[in-house]
Amino acid sequence: MSHPQSQPAAGKAPPTIALLPWGNVIEDFLDTIGISLVTFCSEFTGSWIFGYAEALRAAGVRTVVICISASVAAPQRHTHGPSGATIWLLPAPWVYRALRRHLINPYGRNVRQVFGQLRGARRLLWPVLVVLRELILYLATPLGPISRVIRHEQCGVILCQEYEYPRFDMCVLLGKLLRVPIFAAFQGGNYQRSQLERVVRPLAVRLADGLIIAARAEIQRVQTRYHIPATRLARIFNPIDLDTWHATNRAQARAALQIPTDACVVAWHGRVSVQKKGLDVLIDAWEQLCQSRPQQELQLLLIGTGHDAAELRRQIASRDLRGVRWIDQFSHDRAMLRTYLSAADMYVFPSRQEGFAVAPIEAMACGLPVVAADANGVRDVLESETGDAGIVVPCGDAQALALALDRMLSDDLAKQAYGAHARARVESSFSLEAVGRQLRNFLFQHSADSAWESESQLHHSAESQA
């Protein structure tokens, strides 16, 4: 990996945001899906991070992604090919690196989950470990190196992936010190892991310049919990590239994947986390569906991997299931995923917990009707004034999920209508251009970038006239 130094562009630079992902170190995410740092920095696309970067680029905003890494010894700067975003890898603070070697699970909710069982003389360390557990998530954010990147890249805004996480608290402090506006989004974290957060978080939320929340239920929770004005909340959906995500010819897709033309195909893709993603419920529902349709050719396409891959494999093997086809790998090849989705008749989304999931939006963009559990944000995705994109069932209810899948398979006209509404919903609310404009307007509403915007508009006008 190289780490060249950037040079300011000639003339007025576009507005730039610093985007900081959730988590302690980026490897905590990448290792679970088998993606290397090299791949992440050069070609990885399956992430909320780069969806935001692409949407902001469509609105004339440059994104600098700042990741904390346990694998680098010095700051490294990269350019992400697909989105054009700048990526900085910063070493985790030495204190966190030293502690990380002794952690069973840094995200644990108690001392034993974080440090493991304490036996013998280690029990004497209990008071120290209690304090460390409270601090460990805060120790992973190196404020000095982050501030140097923000100044170097001339970032006018700081945007954190999650506000319910200690990195957000640290970035609020940094934003106030640097006099840079600080914002955060909601992508699923509505829980706190330490007593310290309960004290610090309300103050951090009130000091932040704004929060981006797509789900109505989460907006209500935040307003009730933190008592912040509605003017500092923006309901902005996660973006999707409509030029990439669209249906291809179904017969050709099935031929490429060797799927029979008369099969009824249900698809799911994502990170394999059995409890959170409701994959145990899906396996139960699929078993019921197969029993109710013994003569029909059924196929369940599962695309993805994760830390619970072994558990999912065990659950599949322990049942007398037919038609389950699992691609046990994380793929950021959009063309491959598009082929699998285009081969399907419908999409299933059994999650118990979500922030604002991108996977069903990708399926909807490919014209698939959706059968989904009522996790947070799901209704916000599926429901529209012109027509719903699918059926919503209670979370954790395998029988309801199986019945909804059966209902969808039995009614071709309804299935086609749901699919048409799905694509229309994505086109109207989730495009890069629409989301990018909303993000730019909200993030830079207090900044003085109007001169750049006027200059850009004049430039585009001159180009169109030419």
pLDDT tens readout for residues 214-260: 988 899 999 999 999 999 999 999 999 999 899 999 999 999 999 99
The answer to whether residues 159 and 60 belong to one domain is: yes
**Has residue 209 got a pLDDT over 60?**
yes
**Has residue 104 got a pLDDT over 50?**
yes
- The band of 4, judged by pLDDT with boundaries at 50, 70 and 90, is very low
The answer to whether residues 440 and 425 belong to one domain is: no
Residue from 250, 236, 254, 252 nearest 435 by CA: 236
The answer to whether residues 227 and 323 belong to one domain is: no
Q: Can you tell me the distance from the alpha carbon of 381 to that of 216, in angstroms, rounded to the nearest whole number?
A: 11
Asked if 17 contacts 61 with a C-beta cutoff of 8 angstroms, the reply is yes
The answer to whether residues 181 and 39 belong to one domain is: yes
The answer to whether residues 70 and 189 belong to one domain is: yes
**Has residue 332 got a pLDDT over 70?**
yes
The answer to whether residues 424 and 438 belong to one domain is: no
Would 330 be classed as within a structural domain? yes
The answer to whether residues 224 and 323 belong to one domain is: no
Q: What is the pLDDT of residue 11?
A: 56
Q: Which amino acid is at 219?
A: I
Q: Can you tell me the distance from the alpha carbon of 77 to that of 135, in angstroms, rounded to the nearest whole number?
A: 28
Q: What's the order of all strands across the beta sheet hosting 324-327?
A: 324-327, 298-303, 264-269, 346-349, 370-373, 390-393
Would 144 be classed as within a structural domain? yes
Would 11 be classed as within a structural domain? no
Q: What is the pLDDT of residue 190?
A: 57
Domain that includes residue 316, residue range: 250-429
Would 122 be classed as within a structural domain? no
Question: Could you give the number of structural domains in the chain?
Answer: 2
Burial environment of residue 259 by CB neighbours within 10 A (0 to 12, 13 to 18, 19 or more): buried
Mean of the per-residue pLDDT values of the chain: 88
Q: How many residues does the chain have?
A: 466
Q: Can you tell me the distance from the alpha carbon of 452 to that of 88, in angstroms, rounded to the nearest whole number?
A: 25
Q: Can you tell me the distance from the alpha carbon of 11 to that of 238, in angstroms, rounded to the nearest whole number?
A: 32
- The band of 189, judged by pLDDT with boundaries at 50, 70 and 90, is low
- The band of 458, judged by pLDDT with boundaries at 50, 70 and 90, is very low
The answer to whether residues 232 and 263 belong to one domain is: no
Cα dihedral value 232, 443, 46, 402, nearest 10: 30
Residue from 80, 68, 73, 74 nearest 22 by CA: 68
**Has residue 455 got a pLDDT over 80?**
no
The answer to whether residues 173 and 234 belong to one domain is: yes
The answer to whether residues 233 and 254 belong to one domain is: no
Asked if 183 contacts 209 with a C-beta cutoff of 8 angstroms, the reply is yes
pLDDT in tens, 45-72: 878 899 999 999 999 999 999 999 999 9
Mean pLDDT, residues 250-278 = 94
Asked if 399 contacts 285 with a C-beta cutoff of 8 angstroms, the reply is yes
Mean pLDDT, residues 300-307 = 93
Asked if 159 contacts 20 with a C-beta cutoff of 8 angstroms, the reply is yes
More confident residue, 455 or 360: 360
Q: What is the pLDDT of residue 384?
A: 79
Rounded alpha-carbon distances, angstroms, from residue 405 to 265, 272, 289, 322, 401: 11, 21, 8, 16, 6
Q: Can you tell me the distance from the alpha carbon of 201 to that of 162, in angstroms, rounded to the nearest whole number?
A: 12
Would 454 be classed as within a structural domain? no
Mean pLDDT, residues 195-203 = 93
Q: How many CB atoms lie within 10 A of CB 127?
A: 8
The answer to whether residues 276 and 167 belong to one domain is: no
Q: Which of these ranges, 139-153, 371-385, 400-414, has the smallest mean pLDDT?
A: 371-385
Q: What is the pLDDT of residue 456?
A: 40
Q: What is the pLDDT of residue 105?
A: 87
The answer to whether residues 62 and 154 belong to one domain is: yes
Asked if 132 contacts 104 with a C-beta cutoff of 8 angstroms, the reply is no
pLDDT in tens, 122-145: 788 888 888 888 899 999 999 999
- Predicted TM-score (pTM) of the model is 0.81
Would 225 be classed as within a structural domain? yes
Percentage of the chain exceeding pLDDT 70: 92
Burial environment of residue 226 by CB neighbours within 10 A (0 to 12, 13 to 18, 19 or more): middle
CATH of the domain at 263: 3.40.50.2000
Tokens of 412: 């071709």
Would 318 be classed as within a structural domain? yes
Would 465 be classed as within a structural domain? no
